[in-house]
Amino acid sequence: MVRPTRDLLTERIRLLLDELRSQIREGQLQAGDYLPSEVELGKAFQLSKESVRRALDELVEEGLVRKIRRVGNQVTANGGRSIGPEHATGGMSAVASVRDDGGVTSEHLNGSGASVGGGGITIRLAHYPKMEEETMLSSLVADFEREYPGIRVRLLPASFPYEYAEHGLADAFTISAWDALKLKDRDPLLGLMGPPPFGETIHPVLGKPFRDRAGRTAAAPFVFSPVMLCYNRDHLQACGIEEPNDGWTWYTLLKNARLLARRLDVWGFAVHIQSLNRWPVFLLQNGFRFRPADDTRASEDPALWESLRVARDLIHQQRRSQPLLTENDADIERWFKEGKASMIMTTYYGMNRLRDAEIRYGVAALPSLRTSDTLLLVTGLAVNRNTPHPEAAGELIRYLCGEKAQSRIRRQTVTLPIHPRALALRNGLLGNRPEGEGAFADCWPRCRLYDDLNLGAGVLEAIREELKGYWSRLEDEAEASERLEPLFGPYS
């Protein structure tokens, strides 16, 4: 069995805690009730007994649960008093139903779905935490609840929203193009996702990341962004550099980045190259695919190494004495906002961090290599196939993808909505927005997807890990090629 990553383990613990707190808060677990055993909870959430015990310790510290030696974990009077009697459903109904494969049935710990007093229903929407910054999601949901008073929405921020759906804890969930690729590795038919409602979208390619092997589109596109080039207009002007245009190549950018670094003592160009939303761009631009038509070994393909060499040169050939150390894309956007980097690879999602910036900045299509392709990122909304409330979940998705909600996203964020009339809005747009904001419109013919690389998400992640030594200049191409060959083997 593959050992879960630290992030995944943390997410499972959080999922367990969220569900137990919810059970106590809503009266499904009352004062005096016992929680399911640590073994049952471990099976339900795919956690070790030790991890479950550490999680329950948090509930003890919060005063919601007490441990009774040789008996179990009991909800305290303090925990039970915080729950109104109208929500009570009995405590021991919270025992999970465990499948043979170690997962959890759609009933999970809370039965067939939470109900709201007064005859309404609650829809649980699991979403990426960044959705609040990128789409003002809580405001959109509040608008929805006002228009649909019989439906309440509980927002569940999660790094892996689809896991909440898999465990029966979410009726609907957000899903990125990357997570859809990961799910297709395990289930090419995307069986987790029920039929989503569809509305108007600006371009048909937006649904393609969520298309299963049978051709069914399993999620409704919600927001999108190509990967773009962002630049500080004042920095370029100070150095007499023309603003980026379609004639720029990566070699043009590197030449100008060196000039900016020398004259302004900044990073002329910065990128978190290890990001799975960044380095695949160079492979796509060079026409490299992981299933060559001839007998060439993929790890020795010159197109691969030209792509990776350009990416490495952009980091190391700016003649800066200090290394560029980044943890994520947000680091790059923060340095750009602070004026420490002149040009960055980013997205319209990331530009939301610049809404309150005091800089003049612009956005343009990426420079070219062999082609000027870019990577298209899409976030979709999906209905959990096992939800007891498919109609209500579909109504929520229909609203979030509709013109009213999408227009609010357009006005209050830099994120690109999928609805054509919302995207066309030009008046009443708030915040510091980039010059050339509409540059994405010229990118449609250049937009490519992860799927175009003909490689699964798990292998792409493994390749990324093996390339860290090459990007750090600790290995040359021959050494890195040997490390990559076992990963490429099944795809060559």
Q: Per residue in 280-312, pLDDT tens?
A: 999 999 988 776 555 567 677 788 889 999 999
The yes-or-no verdict on residue 102 having pLDDT over 60 is no
The yes-or-no verdict on residue 105 having pLDDT over 90 is no
∠380-437-173 over CA atoms, to 5°? 10
Q: Left (φ > 0), alpha (ψ -120 to 50) or beta: where does 424 sit?
A: alpha
Q: What is the pLDDT of residue 485?
A: 84
CATH class of 226-376+435-487: alpha beta
Distances in Å between the Cα of 208 and the Cα atoms of 214, 235, 270, 289 are: 12, 38, 30, 18
Q: Which of 17-31, 103-117, 336-350, 465-479 has the lowest mean pLDDT?
A: 103-117
The string of pLDDT tens digits covering residues 452-476 is 999 899 999 999 999 999 998 899 8
User: Averaged over 479-485, what is the pLDDT?
Assistant: 87
The yes-or-no verdict on residue 151 having pLDDT over 60 is yes
Which residue type is seen at 333?
E
The string of pLDDT tens digits covering residues 168-211 is 889 999 999 999 999 999 999 999 999 988 889 999 999 999 99
Q: So where are the chain's domains?
A: 17-75, 122-224+377-424, 226-376+435-487
The string of pLDDT tens digits covering residues 59-100 is 999 999 998 876 688 898 776 554 333 333 333 233 333 233
User: Averaged over 132-144, what is the pLDDT?
Assistant: 97
Nearest to 393, CA basis, from 89, 148, 133, 131: 148
Q: What is the pLDDT of residue 292?
A: 54
As given in the structure block, the two tokens for residue 482 are 């040997």
Q: pLDDT class for 490, splitting at 50, 70, 90?
A: low
Q: For residue 225, count other CB atoms closer than 10 A to its CB.
A: 24
Rounded distance between C-alpha atoms, residue 402 and residue 416, angstroms: 14
Q: What is the pLDDT of residue 147?
A: 97
Residue showing tokens 């290599």: 369
- Average model confidence (pLDDT) for the chain? 87
Distances in Å between the Cα of 127 and the Cα atoms of 137, 175, 394 are: 9, 8, 15
Q: What is the pLDDT of residue 279?
A: 95
Q: pLDDT class for 314, splitting at 50, 70, 90?
A: very high
What dihedral do alpha carbons 20, 21, 26, 28 form, nearest 10°? 20
Residue showing tokens 């228009």: 147
As given in the structure block, the two tokens for residue 159 are 């790094």
Highest mean pLDDT, choosing among 2-6, 275-279, 326-330: 275-279
Q: What is the pLDDT of residue 489?
A: 66
Q: What is the pLDDT of residue 107?
A: 35
The yes-or-no verdict on residue 104 having pLDDT over 50 is no
Q: What is the pLDDT of residue 449?
A: 97
The yes-or-no verdict on residue 407 having pLDDT over 80 is yes
Highest mean pLDDT, choosing among 101-110, 192-201, 306-315, 372-381: 372-381
Q: What is the pLDDT of residue 293?
A: 54
Q: For residue 146, count other CB atoms closer than 10 A to its CB.
A: 8
Same fold, 122-224+377-424 and 226-376+435-487: yes
Q: Which of 319-328, 347-356, 360-369 has the lowest mean pLDDT?
A: 319-328
CATH architecture of residue range(s) 17-75? Orthogonal Bundle (1.10)
Q: What is the pLDDT of residue 40?
A: 81
Q: What is the pLDDT of residue 77?
A: 76
User: Averaged over 350-367, what is the pLDDT?
Assistant: 97
Return the higher-pLDDT residue of 247 and 116. Answer: 247
Q: What is the pLDDT of residue 86?
A: 34
CA-based R_g, the chain, Å: 25
As given in the structure block, the two tokens for residue 439 are 């540059």
Return the higher-pLDDT residue of 245 and 492. Answer: 245
As given in the structure block, the two tokens for residue 370 are 């062999």
Return the higher-pLDDT residue of 343 and 490. Answer: 343
Q: What is the pLDDT of residue 352?
A: 97
Q: pLDDT class for 110, splitting at 50, 70, 90?
A: very low
CATH 3.40.30.10 corresponds to the domain 122-224+377-424 = no
Q: What is the pLDDT of residue 91?
A: 32
Q: Left (φ > 0), alpha (ψ -120 to 50) or beta: where does 473 sit?
A: left
The string of pLDDT tens digits covering residues 38-57 is 888 888 888 888 899 999 99
Q: For residue 206, count other CB atoms closer than 10 A to its CB.
A: 23
